[in-house]
Every structure is written in C-alpha cells, then in structure tokens.
Amino acid sequence: MVFQIKNSNENKRKMTVFIICSLLFIVVAVPFRYFFPIFTISEMRPASALPPVFGMMFGFWGALGAAFGNLISDIIAGYPLSILIVGFLAQFLFGYIAYKLWYGISLNGKFTFPRLDSVNNLLKFIIVIIITSVTMTWLICFIIGSLGFSDFSSLTSLILLFNNFNFSMIIGAIIISIANVFGIKMHKPIKPKKMYLSGKIFDLSIIISTIIGLVYTFYSFFYNQNYYIFNVGVIFYLLIIFYVFKPIEIDIINKKTKVTLTELFILVFINLGAVVAVSNGIEDFYSFQHITNLVSFWLKIYNDMAINIVIFYIFSIVILWYIEKNITTPIESMSEAAEDYIQSENKIMDSSSIISQINQFVDNSNECGILSRSLIRMIEYIKKYMKNLEKVTSERERINTELNIAAKIQEAALPKEFLRTDDFEVYALFEPAKEVGGDFYDFFLIDDDHLAIVIGDVSGKGIPAALFMMVSKSLLKNEAKFGMKPNHIFNIVNNQLAVDNDENMFLTAWMGILELSTGKLEFTNAGHNPPLIKNNSQKYEFLKSRANFVLGPMENINYDNNELQLTKGDKILLYTDGISESINKDKEFFGEEKIANILNNSNLDIKESLIKIKNGVDNFAEGLEQFDDITMLILKYK
C-alpha cells in the first residue's frame, strides 16, 4: 500500500512537470511565431532556451513537456506534418541531451543538480549549451535539408545556431538560478543497479555524431551540395538517440544549502549579460531596418548578440574566477567552518579540524586573510576558555557532589522518629535549602522524667556550616546528658566552640528541659528567635526572655536560665529565621507575626500545624527559590 501511494505521488509529480513545461513553452513560443517570423518554418524563438533548461532540471518529463509544447505551437502556426513530427523529436532530443550531458560532464569530480553556484558549474553550463545548441542545429538542418526547405550549410543554419545559443545563454541561465533561489525541486537521476554497456560507448556515439556533423558541415559549405544528406542524417539521429539511453553512472550530491555568495555574484553577472545582449539586440533591430532580406536581417542581429555574449562571458568568467578564488570561496568556507564549530558538541576536540579548514586562507594578503587569522585566534581563545570552563565545571560538580553528601549527612543526623507518650508529644519539620546550611533540631530524654528540646542555626553556608552544626549538636546533647541546667550547658558548649574558632563561626540556639512530672520548663536563649507558646490563654504568644549572646565567638559568656510552668495541653513552637525571613517577589519578609496568625486561626494537631506553616511560607514566596533552611519543632505537654 505504501509503495502504491508513493508510486502514485511520483506519477502525479511527473505529469505536473510535463503539463507546466508544455504550457510555459506555448506561452513563450506562440506570440513570437506571429510577430517575429524569419522564414517559412521558423521565427525568433526565445522558447529555444526552454528545452535544455527543462531537460537539465526535470529530466525526461521536462524534455518531453518542452517537445509537446513545441508540437502544439507548431500546430497553431500551421506548419506541415513533416515539420511537426521532426520538430517534436528534435526538441525532445534537444532537452534530453542537455540532461544527459549535465550529469555526464564534471570539471571538478563532483555532480550536483543544475545550479550555477560556482565558476566550474557556470563553465559546465556553457559547455552543455554549446554542445546542445550545435547538436540541435544539426538535427534541424538534416531534416530541413532532406525535405528541401534549405541547404545544410546556409544562413538559415547559422540563424538556428545563434538562436539556440543566444537565448539559452540569456534566458536559460536566469531560469536555473531563479529556480535554485526559490528552492524548486529538481529531478534526481536514479543510478541503475546493473550496467549492460559501459558509459564510454555512449560517449563515443556523441563524439562520432559530432565528427559527422562537423565533416558534413564543411563538405556542404565548400562544395555547396547536400549529397547523401538523408542517409547521413539518419545515422546522425541514430547516434544521438543511442546517446540519450546512456545511464547515469554517478552519485548526485544532494546537499540542500542556502544561496551562496558566489551564486549571487554569478546571478548578478548573468542578469547583467542578459541586459547587455538584449539591449544590443533591440538596438540592432532598429538600426538594421534598411536590410530588406529577412534572413540577413535576423542573422546580423543574432550574430552581434552572440559576439556580445561570448565577449561578456569571457570577461565575466575571468572576473568571477578571481572573486570566487579570493573573496567568496574564503568567506563561504570560513562561514561554513564557523557554523560547523557552532554546531559541534565537542568544541575542544573539533577546534583543530576547524582551524585546518580556515588555515588555507591565512596567507591571503586581503581582508579574507585578516579575517581568517582573527577567526583562528578566536577559536584558539574559545578552546582555551572551554578547557578552563571544563576544569571549573568539573571542580564545581565535585563540590556539588560533596555538598549533596554533606546535606544528606546533615539531614541524617536529625532525629526522624518523633516521640509520643502519655506525657508529651513532639514533632519536627526540616526543609533544607538548595545550598547546605546549618539549621538543626534535636529532642531526647535525659532520664525518665526530663525531656530536652533544642533548635539551632549556624552562621554561613556550605561545608563549614554543616560541620560546625554537627559539632554543636553533638556537644549540646553530650553535656545535657549530665543533667545540668540549660544555661550551664550553654556556658560549657560555648567555651568548647570558641577554642580555635579562627573563622569566628557562631550559632544561635534555644534549649529547653521539661520536667515531665511537674511541667516545669527551664530554658536558655542564645540569640535565637523567640518561641511561640500556647498555654491557658488558648492563644499562641511569643515567649519573651533575654536573648543572650550567640554561641561560639568568644569564651566565658554567662547565659541566663529561665523557668516556665506548663500545664496540660500547652504547646511550644521553636523555629529558625528561614521562616520569618522568607521573602516574596516584592522583597517583603514573611515575619514572625504571620506564624502566630496561622497557628491562632487554626485548630490542628501539632503535625498539621507545622505543615500549614510551611504551606503558608510557600504561598507567600510565590515560587521564589528557598534560600535558607526551614526548621521547626513543636512540643505538646499532656
């Protein structure tokens, strides 16, 4: 089914090409048959440019379309049946030979679709046009000579030759260039799976036919005779027909690229050449009105146009060759190399090959040489930069890995199994920021009747803060096990942290020890945020106390001890400044009052209370990235 659909689409495309080529030929040919006749069976024929161009672009169906368009035009003009038949055959061969020649001639070892994007391809186009124009002239002359309309070598023959050559050079080159600018899809030859005859045998046939044409031209010219013209013409036709069966033996480069700088220069010169040739032809048309013989009149015009075209293209090719060699090719090559470098996934590895592509233009003395040297220096600089970046990135990845490990160690050090007994219930929430910080919480039973709760926030970020946190947490827990009051614990731990603390790191902390049997809570605050407590008033309020100096910067600091009596149902919330200092897009702080408001406007258990506070912070931040750890601990005395 897929094959049938594909085959159907291909047939539609071929018929579309055939119809369009036929219509275009008719539209161009018919007006000139009425307004610019030359002799009985011919006229001024700009349409002669179409068969070789359509053949090169669209292959068999392009050549057939042009031949059919010629047939319809001849019928409209009322030409004899013999001219209709041979004209159809000659026009088809005119187009199809051009197709075979384009894919059979190579000046640089490469075969592409018809495209005038280099001086080599322009020369190749000119060669194809010369060969096909001469061959077409012989095809027609053998026919009209055999039918007695004209001698083989005559002024008529020259008019046919100049007509085919002039208009193919003027119009044909422009059509091919415009087709490529607009990206018109061209026919891609199919390489046969098996070759029955060598391509050289087919090439030999067109060489022999060319020799026959030349020999008979000289014979007819010098002896003014058409002896054996029919027999020679049959042989000539058979050789040409045999050649068009030549299979395409090469692979076509099907690289779709944008219009190149060289191609634009060639297009400008082609259009300029067309303007020069047409202007010359118009001038001659009005200058030679005194020539009464129509054949001589048109021969004079065509001859001048051909001379102008030849001279113009000779100079153009020299100029274009210089431009291509010294300007456009270096610029296009460097542009392509730069594009390859941009697309490269490994710029360090590929930079050497890119530089080697550009290096061939370094010795140029013009601006292209300066540009190539600058481009090489830029690539070398980028290479050096990429190596440094790769080194820095590798180091950063290593550091990030270590930070992730540190964060996991930090989080693992915090208790995850929350205590719930008949006397109390404790729950905590820890949400680390992207960067490793120093927040921590802890709760533990010192003995059967005493519960310690601790929260702390170390200054700074990263590995040092995480290490300082781990040490601080361990020291606080170890000293608490001896049954001391919170202020004494802070006195000892502060002195321990201050030893060899050259970086002046510190932490804020709040520690409370609850006597479960009586509800007495002793606590000490070392520069930390005031807790929120809910007691008999049924409302969360800030637990005011003297905020002592932080732990760690200096020794021998005396910390105050505070006492508070809890009753059944009382709750106390500890938190870090990661909550109160959370900001939104307007750079506003969340603040401590919002924490109290959230708790006072809800009646939730201790776990759900912490979750509600966290959700409130997230909604307030409006999607901004969390820059500090969020840590909370809540205790309920039963």
User: Of the given ranges (35-39, 66-70, 622-626), which has the lowest mean pLDDT?
Assistant: 35-39
Domain boundaries, the chain: 1-339, 344-413, 420-637
- In tens, the pLDDT along 94-146 reads 999 999 999 988 887 778 889 888 899 999 999 999 999 999 989 888 887 88
**Domain at 420-637: CATH code:** 3.60.40.10
pLDDT at 2: 40
The answer to whether 243 and 206 have CB atoms below 8 angstroms apart is yes
What percent of the chain is predicted at pLDDT more than 90?
Answer: 38
Residue that has been written with the tokens 């085959």 in this structure: 7
pLDDT recorded at residue 1: 43
Q: What token pair was written down for 234?
A: 């049959």
**What b/e string do you get for 14-52 counting C-beta neighbours within 10 Å, with b at 16 or more?**
beebbebbbebbbebbbebbeeeebeebbbbbbbbbbbb
Query: According to the model, what pLDDT value does residue 255 have?
Result: 61
Q: What is the mean pLDDT of residues 581-589?
A: 89
Least confident range from 136-140, 353-357, 462-466: namely 353-357
Token code pair at residue 44:
């001024």
**What pLDDT score does 44 carry?**
61
Q: State percent of the chain over pLDDT 70.
A: 93
- The rounded distance, in Å, linking the Cα atoms of 523 and 548 is 12
Residues 6+ apart with CB under 8 A from 328: 260, 261, 262, 265
Q: What value does the mean pLDDT take over residues 61-82?
A: 90
The C-alpha atoms of residue 380 and residue 92 are separated, in whole angstroms, by 57
Find the helix packing angle between 81-102 and 229-243, rounded to 10°. 40
Residue 86 CB neighbours (<10 A): 20
**pLDDT number for residue 209:** 92
Q: What is the pLDDT of residue 490?
A: 96
DSSP per-residue codes, 186-253: -PPPPPPS--SS-HHHHHHHHHHHHHHHHHHHHHHHHH---TTHHHHHHHHHHHHHHHTTPPP-S--B
3-state secondary structure of 429: strand
